[in-house]
């Protein structure tokens, strides 16, 4: 593995580690009822927009082609607005275990989208790697303690999670050439600005009706983590990794999220370490290694 690809692996690994911790915080925020999903997304988009535009002021100026603005707007819709909104709405309608299971479909969707749109071949190693990791993650899910979420999963919750997975997989499978054209900061400052503009019409009423002063301090800190780490930092790392490793491999790192959740559960005493979790982790990592060694993943 060359140095650039190693940086890509480290970046996406860090991003999904952040997302893994964020799963717990998102459920706390949603269950508190302090802010609606629309308000929460707008806060994320606003915070990330401000931070990326401030960061861009200290970097070399980069011009964006006029013809690329509609594409960046589409990327913000498919990669930010739709996935984040559907997830924030779904976690109050689905049980934790169903949320985790449906989330495992992302790498499979991404593999097929990358095949159709980027002509990234589905090699034997890649298919085997996705299958092995998929088996490992399901094994982990069914052998872990799952708390939070709804008591019963609604059909609407399942539909929202499927849209979430399909939309973000489509983003990973289509927009790599556009992302590679610009620096991470330039691409993300425009992406989040467009997503903020998209969100304002649907969140304006909730924003005006939200009593921000009454938000509990713990929920406030969780929202701060969501805005800074799970939005600004993580979404800096994702396009950076996309420049160096293939879409299917980027998507496979989403399997880190339940692993991180299991580690947190063990650390806090909610769950215990067992041979099943160790075995599942070996399968997940083994599948990622297989995909990373496939011909499509190593070619430029």
Asked whether residue 80 carries a pLDDT value surpassing 80, the answer given is yes
Asked whether residue 75 carries a pLDDT value surpassing 50, the answer given is yes
| pLDDT tens-digit map of 229-254 | 999 999 999 999 988 888 888 888 88
Whole-number average pLDDT of the chain:
86
Higher pLDDT, 271 or 40: 40
| pLDDT tens-digit map of 26-71 | 878 888 889 999 999 999 999 999 999 999 999 999 999 999 999 9
Q: What is the pLDDT of residue 152?
A: 65
| pLDDT tens-digit map of 169-181 | 999 989 989 999 9
Q: What is the pLDDT of residue 145?
A: 54
Backbone angles phi, psi at 95, to 5 degrees: -70, 160
The two structure tokens encoding residue 269 = 């005493």
The whole-angstrom separation of Cα 284 and Cα 142 is 14
The whole-angstrom separation of Cα 112 and Cα 178 is 19
Q: What is the pLDDT of residue 93?
A: 84
Q: What is the pLDDT of residue 299?
A: 45
Instruction: Select from 26, 251, 267, 266 the least CA-distant residue to 143.
Output: 266
Contacting residues for 289 by C-beta, under 8 A, at least 6 apart: 129
The two structure tokens encoding residue 234 = 């993580």
Q: What is the pLDDT of residue 300?
A: 41
Q: What is the pLDDT of residue 62?
A: 94
Higher pLDDT, 210 or 298: 210
The two structure tokens encoding residue 45 = 């988009």
Q: What is the pLDDT of residue 150?
A: 62
Higher pLDDT, 287 or 189: 189
Q: What is the C-alpha end-to-end distance of the chain, expressed in Å?
A: 12
Asked whether residue 298 carries a pLDDT value surpassing 70, the answer given is no
- The SS3 call for residue 58 is coil
Q: State the pTM of this model.
A: 0.83
CB 16 within 8 A of CB 173: no
The whole-angstrom separation of Cα 118 and Cα 92 is 35
- Cα atoms in the 13 Å half-sphere on the side-chain side of 240: 18
The whole-angstrom separation of Cα 219 and Cα 239 is 28
Q: What is the pLDDT of residue 257?
A: 76
| pLDDT tens-digit map of 196-208 | 999 999 999 999 9
The two structure tokens encoding residue 104 = 């495992």
């Amino acid at each position: 593995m060359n140095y650039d690809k190693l940086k890509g692996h480290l970046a996406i690994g860090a991003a999904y580690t952040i997302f893994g911790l964020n799963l717990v915080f998102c459920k706390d925020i949603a269950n508190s009822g302090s802010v609606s999903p629309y308000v929460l997304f707008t806060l994320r988009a606003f915070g990330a927009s401000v931070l990326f535009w401030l960061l861009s002021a200290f970097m070399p100026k980069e011009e964006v082609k006029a013809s690329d603005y509609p594409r960046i707007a589409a990327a913000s819709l498919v990669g930010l607005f739709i996935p984040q909104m559907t997830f924030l709405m779904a976690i109050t309608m689905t049980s934790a275990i169903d949320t985790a299971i449906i989330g495992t479909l992302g790498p499979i969707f991404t593999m097929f989208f990358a095949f159709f749109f980027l002509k990234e071949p589905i090699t034997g190693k890649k298919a085997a790697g996705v299958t092995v990791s998929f088996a490992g993650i399901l094994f982990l899910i069914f052998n872990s303690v799952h708390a939070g979420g709804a008591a019963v999963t609604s059909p609407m919750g399942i539909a929202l999670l499927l849209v979430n997975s399909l939309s973000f997989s489509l983003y990973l499978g289509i927009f790599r050439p556009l992302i590679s054209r610009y620096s991470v900061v330039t691409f993300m400052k425009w992406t989040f600005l467009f997503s903020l503009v998209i969100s304002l019409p649907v969140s304006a009423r909730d924003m005006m009706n939200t009593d921000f002063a009454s938000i509990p301090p713990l929920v406030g800190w969780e929202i701060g983590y969501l805005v800074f780490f799970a939005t600004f930092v993580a979404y800096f790392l994702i396009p950076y990794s996309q420049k160096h490793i293939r879409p299917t491999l980027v998507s496979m790192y989403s399997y880190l999220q339940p692993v991180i959740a299991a580690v947190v559960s063990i650390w806090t005493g909610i769950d215990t370490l067992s041979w099943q979790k160790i075995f599942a982790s070996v399968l997940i990592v083994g599948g990622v290694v297989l995909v990373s060694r496939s011909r499509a993943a190593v070619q430029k």
